[in-house]
């Protein structure tokens, strides 16, 4: 059973406001613009927000054990005896969403990372045995599943995959004929326009006008060639 979130129920006075000089925590803008409205589970939201504060604190190795996260006073007070179970479940939900990353340990615990460049790099280094597990322990041996299809092509031709682009690729693969999304990504790379927006513009053109493109005919673009998709994307 969780503790009440009401300050009055705990005999506390109303919050008086933030004090001057407090250390500020920076949250990614994407959390508010892409993720906040999607998170319906209050435990996932609370644990995610706390992890975004706790993991990057100065002196931390950009990772926390789930058990250490559960031992943090605000979460422990709120959830009481259920804190460990709640934090693991919420961290797993956040990992499924792509906000956090988790890495199972042989002692039954798990490491929790923020899904940013530093977190991904550290997760991969620990999983590969290049860095030690914080506070000791060993990583559970796992089978690495290589990305396939449009995801693999995007990572090879464009770059790091974000949760929003991953969702867009999945939707596009359901919308367009087999192979089109991968071909559009390769065509965008050949045009040196390495973005999902440009590849999506190619797909819309193929759908509207039929495929008469280098990807279908096997003729890469040549220097000086007029860009056929110029009108379908915006320049800065």
**What percent of the chain has a predicted confidence (pLDDT) above 70?**
82
Measure the CA–CA gap between 115 and 47, rounded to whole angstroms.
Answer: 14
CA distances from residue 35 to 1, 45, 50, 88, 90 in whole angstroms, order as listed: 28, 10, 15, 20, 15
* Averaged pLDDT for residues 109-115: 93
More confident residue, 68 or 211: 68
* Averaged pLDDT for residues 202-223: 66
More confident residue, 11 or 45: 45
* Averaged pLDDT for residues 212-218: 51
Q: Give residue 146's pLDDT.
A: 59
* Averaged pLDDT for residues 4-10: 63
Q: Residue 89: which pLDDT band, with cuts at 50, 70 and 90?
A: very high
Q: Residue 6: which pLDDT band, with cuts at 50, 70 and 90?
A: low
Domains of the chain: 26-127 (1.10.10), 149-232 (1.10.10.630)
* Averaged pLDDT for residues 130-153: 73
Q: What is the pTM of this model?
A: 0.57
Instruction: Give the number of other CB atoms < 10 A from CB of residue 136.
Output: 9
Instruction: Give the number of other CB atoms < 10 A from CB of residue 74.
Output: 11
| Interstrand relation of 110-114 and 64-65 (parallel, antiparallel or unpaired) | antiparallel
């Amino acid at each position: 059973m969780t503790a009440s979130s009401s300050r009055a129920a705990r005999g506390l006075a109303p919050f008086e406001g933030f004090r001057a000089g407090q250390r500020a925590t920076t949250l990614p803008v994407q959390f508010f613009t892409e993720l906040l409205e999607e998170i319906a589970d209050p435990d996932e939201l609370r644990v995610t927000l706390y992890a975004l504060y706790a993991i990057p604190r100065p002196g931390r190795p950009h990772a926390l054990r789930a058990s250490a996260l559960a031992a943090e006073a605000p979460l422990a007070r709120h959830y009481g005896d259920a804190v460990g179970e709640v934090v693991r479940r919420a961290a797993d939900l956040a990992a499924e969403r792509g906000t956090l990353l988790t890495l199972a340990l042989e002692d039954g615990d798990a490491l929790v990372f923020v899904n940013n460049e530093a977190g991904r790099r550290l997760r991969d280094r620990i999983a590969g045995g290049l860095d030690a597990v914080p506070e000791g322990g060993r990583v559970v041996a796992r089978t690495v599943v290589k990305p396939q299809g449009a995801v693999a092509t995007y990572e090879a031709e464009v770059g790091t995959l974000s949760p929003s682009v991953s969702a867009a690729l999945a939707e596009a693969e359901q919308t367009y004929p087999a192979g089109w999304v991968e071909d559009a990504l390769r065509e965008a790379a050949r045009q040196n326009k390495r973005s999902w927006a440009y590849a999506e513009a190619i797909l819309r053109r193929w759908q509207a006008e039929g495929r008469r493109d280098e990807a279908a005919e096997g003729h890469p673009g040549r220097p000086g060639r007029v860009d056929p998709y110029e009108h379908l994307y915006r320049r800065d």
